C-alpha cells in the first residue's frame, strides 16, 4: 500500500469562508503581525491577542468543511496509510472525519499553558477570557505557534514526509517556513501533486511536480478519485 501524505494550507480553509493571512485582502492587511502574533505582542497586550483569536475562533465554529476536506477524508478511509499535515489552525479536517491530523501551527479550538507549549486544554465555545489559568497554574494563551517560536510538531511532520510515496500539496503558497521546507524531506522517488489555482514557487522541485491548477474544492476530489482508483 502506498504511503500518501497530504499537506494542506490556507487555500483549503478559504473555500469554507475562513480568512487567509497572506493574500492581498488577508488578515495581515488588517492587523500587524507584531501586534497579535508574536510572544512579545502577547506580553505587551494580551487582551488584544485574546480578542483577535476569539474572532478567529468564532469564524471557525461557524464555518463548515468543504468538498476538499471531505475528499481528503475519503482518501484516508480508502487508503488508511494516508497521513495529513496542515498549516491551518482550524478543525475543519477533523469535522470532515479525518484522523490524526498533524497541526503545525496550533489549533484554534484549544488553549495552551504559558509554561508548556504541548500542554493544551479544549475551549468550550469561541470565547477565551484573559486571566484563565491552566491546571499547572500558568496563564492560558491561544494554542497558536506565534512568529518567532519553534514549531514543535515539525520533526514529526518531517518524519512523515520522509516516508511518502506520494505527497499531495493543497492550497499553500509554500512561502511559510519551516513548513514550506517539507518538500525537501520527501524521497527523491516520490511523486508530488500540487493542487492550487495559482503558481506557487516550486523551485528545484518543478520537474517533479504535477500541478493541478484548480481550486481545492474542484481539484482535490478529482485527484482523490484518481488515487483511490489507482492505489485503493
Instruction: Give domain limits for the chain.
Output: 1-16+65-105+150-232, 19-62+106-144
Q: pTM of the prediction?
A: 0.93
Candidate list 39, 105, 129, 211, residue with the active-site label: 105
Exposure of 25 by Cβ count < 10 A (0-12 exposed, 13-18 middle, 19+ buried)?
exposed
Same fold, 1-16+65-105+150-232 and 19-62+106-144: no
pLDDT per residue of the chain (232 residues) written in tens, 0 to 9: 899 999 999 999 999 999 765 554 555 456 777 888 999 999 999 999 999 999 999 999 999 999 999 999 999 999 999 999 999 999 999 999 999 999 999 999 999 999 999 999 999 999 999 999 999 999 999 999 999 999 999 999 999 999 999 999 999 877 767 767 888 999 999 999 999 998 766 667 777 889 999 999 999 999 999 999 999 8
129 annotated active-site: no
Closest CA to 169 of 3, 6, 25: 6
Q: What confidence score (pLDDT) does residue 22 get?
A: 55
Contacts 24+ apart (CB under 8 A), 120-128: 123/57, 125/61, 126/54, 126/57, 126/58, 126/60, 126/61, 127/54, 127/57, 127/58, 128/50, 128/53, 128/54, 128/57
Q: Tell me, what DSSP letter sits at residue 18? A: P
Overall CATH class of domain 1-16+65-105+150-232: alpha beta
Using CA atoms, how far apart are residues 135 and 114, in angstroms rounded to an integer?
11
SS3 189: coil
Give the CATH class of 19-62+106-144. Answer: alpha beta
Amino acid at each position: 500500500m502506498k504511503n500518501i501524505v497530504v499537506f494542506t494550507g490556507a487555500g483549503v480553509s478559504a473555500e469554507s469562508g475562513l480568512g487567509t493571512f497572506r493574500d492581498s485582502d488577508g488578515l495581515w492587511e488588517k492587523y500587524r503581525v507584531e501586534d497579535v502574533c508574536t510572544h512579545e505582542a502577547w506580553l505587551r497586550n494580551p487582551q488584544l491577542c485574546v480578542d483577535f483569536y476569539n474572532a478567529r475562533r468564532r469564524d471557525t465554529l461557524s464555518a463548515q468543511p468543504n468538498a476538499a476536506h471531505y475528499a481528503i477524508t475519503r482518501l484516508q478511509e480508502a487508503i488508511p496509510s494516508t497521513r495529513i499535515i496542515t498549516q491551518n489552525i482550524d478543525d475543519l479536517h477533523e469535522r470532515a472525519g479525518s484522523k490524526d491530523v498533524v497541526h503545525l501551527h496550533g489549533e484554534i479550538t484549544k488553549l495552551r499553558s504559558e509554561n508548556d507549549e504541548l500542554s493544551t486544554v479544549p475551549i468550550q465555545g469561541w470565547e477565551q477570557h484573559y486571566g484563565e489559568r491552566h491546571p499547572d497554574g500558568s496563564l492560558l494563551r491561544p494554542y497558536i505557534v506565534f512568529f518567532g517560536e519553534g514549531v514543535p510538531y515539525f520533526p514529526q511532520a518531517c518524519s512523515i514526509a520522509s516516508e511518502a510515496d506520494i505527497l499531495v500539496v493543497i492550497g499553500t503558497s509554500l512561502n511559510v517556513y519551516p513548513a514550506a521546507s517539507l518538500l525537501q524531506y520527501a524521497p527523491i522517488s516520490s511523486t508530488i501533486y500540487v493542487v492550487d489555482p495559482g503558481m506557487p514557487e516550486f523551485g528545484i522541485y518543478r520537474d517533479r511536480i504535477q500541478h493541478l491548477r484548480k481550486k481545492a474544492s474542484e481539484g482535490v476530489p478529482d485527484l482523490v478519485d484518481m488515487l483511490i482508483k489507482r492505489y485503493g
